[in-house]
Structure 1
Amino acid sequence: MRAGAVSRPAGGCAGGADARRAGGVWWRGLAGAALLLALAGCARYRPAPIDPAATAAALTARRLDQPGLVRFLRAMSVAPDRGFGLRALTLVAVYERPGLKLATAEAGAAAAGAVLARQVPNPTLSLSPTFNATQANPSPIRIGPEISFLLANFGARQAGIAAADARVAAARDMVAQAAWQERGAVRAALLALFIDRRALRLSRRLAGTAAEIETTIAGRAASGMLAASVLAGATQAADRARLAVAEARRRRDDDRARLAAAIGMPVAALRHAPLSFAAFAHPIPPRDLPALVRRALVARPDIEAALARYRAADAALRQAVDSQFPGLRIGPGYEYDQGDNKFVLSLSLPLPVLNQHQGQIAVARARRRVAAAAFERVQARALARIDVAAAAWRGSRAVLRAARRLEVVAGRQDAQAAAAYRLGTTGRLRLLEARRGALLARSRRLAAEAEMLRALSGLADALEIPVFRETPA
């Protein structure tokens, strides 16, 4: 019987044992291969804790001469030892400011979303072992793996990828927008410091002239040549001039603090830093304003970002429509069924008979309408901002021309008073009054020039074009 058992055909007990061994080997090989593939694709978590005390210490310790920053500036062809002008300070802001880092990180998150949209769904491994207690021969075991694959709707997949790519484009445009905003903040802070430093110097000269007038009038009042009321008026004027100096000094210190904030540095970092204001000596007024307006309304980063978000919403709607038929799931498999080797193929397809994806389509359609309205709002706001900035710039230029004419007249009168004083035909008080008149005219001209520079800076922000350069053309 033992020999007969050995010589039984493959369908007998011996054949079943061979099949069982073959099936076990096949199954172990498949499981091992699946395990290796899974382990090969596994990512590892690396903790990245944030220590507020350490970040605060690093923030307060920032300096313009820190080695990493100096290497970055030199790599960008900027020599820190020659002074920090508009370009150098803008690069410091790019290096230190968290706003641009946040926009860059958000662009990275959008790029990760594009990777997610492109990834292929993993197959599913199913295993349903059973044991038939009523049939022990040839084998009570029934076991077999099944691997199913999702054959996704190609149109929906491509639409999802297009939506993710549009979100990446929008995020990158917002990086450019953040970079321009950082540049604008640095320019505005440096310009304010430039204006208020000039105002402080002129205020000191006015205060000195007012003090001389007060001293001269006090001498004449003591000799009885002028009334005490005239001296009181001169004293009040001198006090107001000294108050103007204190206010100008306060504005200068505030501007330095705002500039430090704009470049992401503590204010102590600017205390002894050599600053350059050469950029404001060579403004570049826009020559073809209508062409610049047309360009800005289609090429500003925030407008391009709004358009990219609309394209993402449109692609998401197409994805929702195409996802009414999400795809086909196919599952080839093997089954060892009580001594028999069986190969199976399962197919599954969702039946869109209850909702046809109406909810997702309605949401996607509404979001596309929102994105379209948002684009129109961004473009309209850009145009309104450009119009306001252009009107302010034109008006400031007219005021500056009038202020320059007044300064010329006051300067001529000052020169005439000085010549008359040298000839002895007028006294010192007349000379000082003419000098104060010339200084006041210069103060009005500087104020008008400051308003023109601010208006030009605002127009630059509205058009997003550079208008200041640190070297003459």
Structure 2
Amino acid sequence: MKHALFLIPLAAALLASCAHYQAHPLSAESSAAAFAGRSLNDPGLRQFLTEQKASQGAWDVNRLALAAAYFHPDVTLARAEAEETTAAIKTAKQRPNPVFTFGPQYASFHRNTLTPWFLAGNVFYQIETAGKRAHRTEQALAAAEAARWRVSARAWAARSRVRLAMLDLHSARENIRLLEIEQKLHDEAIKKLTAQMEAGDVSPFELTQARLALNRTRLALQDAQKLSSTAEARLAAAVGVPLAAFKSVTLDFSAFSRLPVQSSSAARRLALTHRADLMALLAEYAAAESALRLEYARQYPDVRLGPGFDYNQGQNRWQLGVSFELPVNGNRGPIAQAEAKRKSAEARFQAQQDAIQGELNIALAAYAASRQKAQTAASLSQEAGVAAATTKRMVEAGELSPLELTRRQLEASTASLARMAAEIEAQNAAGALEDAMQARL
């Protein structure tokens, strides 16, 4: 038994090298309270914005998109999944642990023997062959890269939601401003028509039509006010913060005043070679390729060396054992599975690339058409404004009645609303094109 005393320090050393578990309790109440306390002045967010070189500036689409990448649960989940996949690299790089066996025996009939105990110990070392560890590591690295690309894809999806919510909020606020102007003009028109009807210059029908137009404007104004409230709530949800976080910040909508020209060739290059979801599928294909190489390498068996010691009847005997699997089946089944997985990974990549082609063609056509429509609406609105200014000069010269000026101003207001609607439509098309490219115009 004295020969077994060396096991005690060995066991102590092994136990000392073990990692220690750390508890991390999760509470629904604490999580809800943490969400309620989120703010755009969060120190962690400020540090993140500094790292992204966006610590200064107004809260526009791009800066709020970075806040969404920091706060939104979809991106947080993708980031946690990426960390989980990255942790697998350490496992893939590990060499197999040696296996120690110790089997003491006691002989009950030990007459004329030095000791009734028989002691035997072995240590088995597994030697991986054919580069299995390298292939396993390559597979884990490719899977981690795919997970990182999925984080980028989730971050872009978060940006898309932020942009859409900001565009809805901008549209609602602009419509409120224009509809309030139009409502005042309708009120003026009704007052003037009422006076003229009392004088017998206009019919009651014309006054009724003006009142109906006023009612439609009031209902449209209420719809715009409702959209403004809901859009602000959607923006907070898109960023991943409570609605109260926007009470103390000023939003910058200046990005929605531009409709830049986008080259179709550049858009196609970005969409087909740089989209994050496409790059994730490409990395998954690389992982499947590495998995296939690993299965081919597993045709060659690993070697297990088993040096051992045997103490028997006072004799110290040393042993050296060698063992390995006999590759009878040639690992054909797993190889066939790995080849099929590689083929399906290739098909997923090509299917996504083909789908992007169609999505991009639609987005390019829609953006070009809506951009042209916005330019036409702007031209018509400018013409209506010029007509209203001309009418005003004629009224001041006594050539036309004040009611005619109000009518021209209403026409200009309607043209402004149409221009705004066309610009919002074009901005929606621009957002769809950005999503097809996963890049800013």
Which residue type is aligned with residue 305 of structure 2?
I
What are the ranges of 5 or more consecutive residues in structure 2 without an aligned counterpart?
none
Which residue type is aligned with residue 28 of structure 1?
L
Distance (Å, rounded) in 1 between the aligned partners of 2:55 and 2:266: 36
Say whether residues 1:340 and 2:321 are aligned partners. Answer: no
Distance (Å, rounded) in 2 between the aligned partners of 1:76 and 1:173: 17
Q: What does residue 55 of structure 1 align with?
A: 31
Q: Which shows bigger deviation, 251-260 or 40-49?
A: 40-49
Distance (Å, rounded) in 2 between the aligned partners of 1:79 and 1:102: 24
Q: 1:452 aligns with which of 411, 426, 429?
A: 426
Q: What does residue 81 of structure 2 align with?
A: 106
Distance (Å, rounded) in 2 between the aligned partners of 1:78 and 1:311: 34
Q: What does residue 8 of structure 1 align with?
A: none
Q: 2:120 aligns with which of 144, 160, 163?
A: 144
Instruction: Quote the offset at 1:208 in angstroms.
Output: 1.3
Distance (Å, rounded) in 2 between the aligned partners of 1:291 and 1:212: 52
Distance 1:37-1:359 versus aligned 2 partners, 3 A rule: farther
Distance 1:213-1:272 versus aligned 2 partners, 3 A rule: farther
Q: What does residue 206 of structure 2 align with?
A: 230
Cα contact 2:68–2:240 (8 A) shared by 1 = yes
User: Number of residues paired by the alignment?
Assistant: 440
Q: What does residue 3 of structure 1 align with?
A: none
TM-score w.r.t. length of structure 1: 0.88
Q: What does residue 5 of structure 2 align with?
A: 28
Instruction: Please state whether the residue corresponding to 2:131 is helix, strand or coil.
Output: helix
Instruction: Quote the offset at 1:220 in angstroms.
Output: 1.8
Distance 1:73-1:311 versus aligned 2 partners, 3 A rule: closer
Distance 1:40-1:380 versus aligned 2 partners, 3 A rule: farther
Distance 1:272-1:221 versus aligned 2 partners, 3 A rule: farther
Distance 1:450-1:428 versus aligned 2 partners, 3 A rule: same
Q: What does residue 158 of structure 2 align with?
A: 182
- Map Cα deviations across residues 119-140 of structure 1 (whole Å, 9 max, x no partner): 0111111112222333441222
Cα contact 1:396–1:455 (8 A) shared by 2 = yes
Instruction: Quote the offset at 1:197 in angstroms.
Output: 1.3
Cα contact 2:259–2:371 (8 A) shared by 1 = no
Instruction: Quote the offset at 1:77 in angstroms.
Output: 5.5
Instruction: Quote the offset at 1:118 in angstroms.
Output: 0.7
Cα contact 1:285–1:456 (8 A) shared by 2 = no
Distance (Å, rounded) in 1 between the aligned partners of 2:288 and 2:91: 17
Which residue type is aligned with residue 124 of structure 1?
V
Instruction: Quote the offset at 1:449 in angstroms.
Output: 1.4
Which residue type is aligned with residue 414 of structure 1?
A
Q: What does residue 16 of structure 1 align with?
A: none
Instruction: Quote the offset at 1:90 in angstroms.
Output: 2.2
Q: 1:41 aligns with which of 6, 17, 28?
A: 17
Q: 2:342 aligns with which of 368, 382, 393?
A: 368
Alignment of 1:68-217 (within 5 A): 68-70=44-46, 72-73=48-49, 83-136=58-111, 137-217=113-193
Say whether residues 1:303 and 2:278 are aligned partners. Answer: yes
Alignment of 1:251-290 (within 5 A): 251-286=227-262, 288-290=263-265
Instruction: Quote the offset at 1:466 in angstroms.
Output: 2.0
Distance 1:44-1:324 versus aligned 2 partners, 3 A rule: same
Instruction: Please state whether the residue corresponding to 1:225 is helix, strand or coil.
Output: coil
Q: What does residue 392 of structure 1 align with?
A: 366
Instruction: Please state whether the residue corresponding to 1:154 is helix, strand or coil.
Output: coil
Distance 1:273-1:295 versus aligned 2 partners, 3 A rule: closer
Distance 1:130-1:397 versus aligned 2 partners, 3 A rule: same
Instruction: Please state whether the residue corresponding to 1:425 is helix, strand or coil.
Output: coil
Instruction: Please state whether the residue corresponding to 2:18 is helix, strand or coil.
Output: coil
Q: 2:378 aligns with which of 404, 425, 430?
A: 404
Distance (Å, rounded) in 2 between the aligned partners of 1:259 and 1:205: 27
Q: 2:412 aligns with which of 438, 443, 447?
A: 438
Alignment of 1:319-330 (within 5 A): 319-330=294-305
What are the ranges of 5 or more consecutive residues in structure 1 without an aligned counterpart?
1-19, 468-473
Distance 1:179-1:217 versus aligned 2 partners, 3 A rule: same
Instruction: Quote the offset at 1:224 in angstroms.
Output: 2.6
Which residue type is aligned with residue 151 of structure 1?
I
Q: Which shows bigger deviation, 104-113 or 402-411?
A: 402-411
Which residue type is aligned with residue 5 of structure 2?
R
Cα contact 1:206–1:241 (8 A) shared by 2 = yes
Instruction: Quote the offset at 1:66 in angstroms.
Output: 4.2
Cα contact 1:324–1:357 (8 A) shared by 2 = yes
Cα contact 2:68–2:155 (8 A) shared by 1 = no
Cα contact 2:189–2:210 (8 A) shared by 1 = yes
Distance (Å, rounded) in 1 between the aligned partners of 2:227 and 2:41: 26
List structure 1 segments (4+ residues) > 4 angstroms apart after TM superposition. Answer: 70-80
Cα contact 1:147–1:332 (8 A) shared by 2 = yes
- Map Cα deviations across residues 210-232 of structure 1 (whole Å, 9 max, x no partner): 12112211222233322222211
Cα contact 2:38–2:245 (8 A) shared by 1 = yes
The share of aligned pairs that are identical, in percent, is 32
Instruction: Please state whether the residue corresponding to 1:48 is helix, strand or coil.
Output: coil
Instruction: Please state whether the residue corresponding to 2:410 is helix, strand or coil.
Output: helix
